Chain A
Amino acid sequence: MTVGAPGDDGALSVALALVAAASATGSWCALIGHPGLGAVAAADLGIDLTRLAILPRPGVAWAEATAAVLEGVDLVVLCPPFAPRHAMARRLVARARERRAVLVVVPGRAGWPEPPDLQLRMTDVTWEGVDAGKGHLRHRRMTVTSTGRRSAARPIQRHLWLPAPDGTLAEAPDGAGGPLDHPSPYNPAA
């Protein structure tokens, strides 16, 4: 799946929220190609840092390293340093499917050539809590929309606080009704 598009604020946080969901079930996760993880934010989201392997700067071997990690880790968040060729992207996706792992791509500026099974987009992102010199950042409101192929074709939209004031993920109080439903619940068998 891919999370965010170039310029989407909050893409990494959404990806980390997915890691937190997997982490809560005891799964091993990996973050590849992002040298600046805010570890405190990750822990506050509920991520078990002892089971989050970070490959901060995989360099030119990033695709090979990702393929290796997909062998034994349940969820991999990949921030590719540059857009891979179609064949390489397809190989990584196929490897994830074969190993029943979840590959979450945060394409950032690099982009990703393959249409994903599921795409999450962030819109209406606003920070609340600060004024001109008063208060401090308290929470961020965002609307997350998931679109996808096959069974996920019907778009799902949720209004979230990510992070909420305590650093976790919460449904925004006046968001669209219904129980909090991650647009893409972590599911290694999917």
Chain B
Amino acid sequence: MDRLLVVRCPDLFDEDEGGGVLRTFAELIDAVEVYCPWVTPVRSGICSLPARGPARYFGGEDALVELVQRAAECITPAEVGVADGLFAAVLAARRGRIVPAGATGEFLAPLPVSILGDSDLAGLLDRLGIRTLGEFAALPDAHILGRFGADGAHAHRVAGGRSGELADLRQPRIARLLDGGSDDDLPVVAEPGFWGGVSDADARAARCLSAAQDLLGPGGVVIARLQGGRGPTQRARFVTWTTAARPKGLGPDTARRAGSGPSAPWPGQIPPPAPAVVHPDPVRADLADAQGEPVRVSGRGLLVTSPDRLSIEGGPWEPLSGWAGPWPADERWWSRAHRRGARLQAVTARAAHLLVVERGSWWVEATYG
């Protein structure tokens, strides 16, 4: 489960008609973003950020909480806390606590079951004499699904600190509102009241993706975002999926314009179409000329000899039916170090690849699969 820092501003829970609350909340997020660029609005008045990286950078979770608290207090009264998973982190913020990693179950145990926000479930548990999250979590898994259904089983995992958040904890529309969009187009019937919500399909997808993420751990479910860049590796990044992920960077339309328009900001960008496969790990390649000698690139990024055949990861040589390039590549695509290199499109009978050369070594960066 992700270690999350939550900022909770009770004065901003209820949106007003003039949008003043929302503006203040947007200011708050800007203030907190100084410490971490990945601030996620959870619902009006509550936002979260991953605590691990910033805590390391700012000298511990205590220090981070203090910095964030001070920044937030300049805008509006705020409570800050840290715990594993969103559900516990929101409760930790309410109490101004830092719940140590792995101690979520203990922290939640004395709290009343009503805090899960499901009155039917709370009533049922009450009749069974179960009043606290600890007592609920102590029920054996085997009986839960049959007795309380899928939602109950998920709540059971949350109560035991084994799952990060309840499916309806977030208010996805808040992200859109903060981005200046309107939520007029949201169907009114899909709004289940206080927590807000989006369409049934989005809610259904959110539930099943939460389940998959619980199964696979953090980073198990990601969403792709486009951004500017020269090569295919730089032009996308993958962020952990959350129900309220705020679109940052370029949307598909702007990115496409930037990529192919006459005023493309990235000279040296490979012309479209883009490769369907971008290898996440470097794949070694050998590129040889007609004499079997390795193909080299001059210091000015020009090919010294013509490529003739390609071998991938020590595999058999395949003759090239065509090739194009080179395009300059100044960035090392799998590390931060800057190096002058070049990219080349190479077509064999089986596939077309985008190759990159650095210090005389060839790699397959992407495949037009």
* A→B interface (CB under 8 Å): 7, 9-13, 16, 26-28, 30, 34-44, 48-56, 58-59, 61, 64-65, 68-74, 127, 129-140, 163-167
Contact = CB atoms under 8 A, between A and B. Distances in A.
Question: Which 6 A-B pairs give the minimum distances between C-beta atoms?
Answer: A72-B208, A39-B236, A39-B224, A72-B204, A40-B274, A130-B322
Contacts, number: 179
Interface of B: 201-202, 204-209, 211-212, 215-216, 220-226, 232, 235-236, 238, 241, 245, 247, 252, 255-256, 259-260, 270-280, 303, 306, 322-325, 345, 347, 350-352, 366, 368-369
B273 A139 contact: yes
A32 to B, nearest CB: 9
B368 A53 contact: no
Contact of A71 (B201, B207, B276): B207
Given A72-B208, A72-B209, A130-B347, A44 B216 contact: no
Task: State the majority secondary structure of interface residues on A.
Answer: mixed
A38 B223 contact: no
B324 to A, nearest CB: 4
Nearest to A49: B224
Given A53-B223, A165-B272, A26 B323 contact: no
8 contacts: A12-B369, A41-B273, A55-B212, A58-B216, A68-B215, A133-B325, A137-B345, A165-B273
Contacts of A44: 256, 272-274
A88 B167 CA distance: 28
A139 B272 CA distance: 9
B204 A133 contact: no
Contacts of B215: 61, 64-65, 68
Contacts of A12: 276-277, 369
Nearest to B271: A136
A10 B352 CA distance: 10
Contacts of B276: 12-13, 16, 37-38, 41-42, 163
B223 A71 contact: no
Contacts of A165: 272-273
B216 A43 contact: no
Nearest to B229: A40
Most B CB within 10 A of own CB, among A39, A68, A69, A127: A39
A52 B273 contact: no
Most B CB within 10 A of own CB, among A43, A70, A129, A134: A43
Nearest to A164: B273
B311 to A, nearest CB: 17
B289 to A, nearest CB: 12
Nearest to A161: B273
Contact of B352 (A27, A71, A140): A140
B336 to A, nearest CB: 20
Contact of B222 (A41, A56, A72, A127): A56
A37 B224 contact: yes
A24 to B, nearest CB: 12
Contacts of B226: 39-40, 43, 49
A74 B216 CA distance: 20
Contact of A72 (B207, B221, B225, B366): B207
Nearest to A28: B205
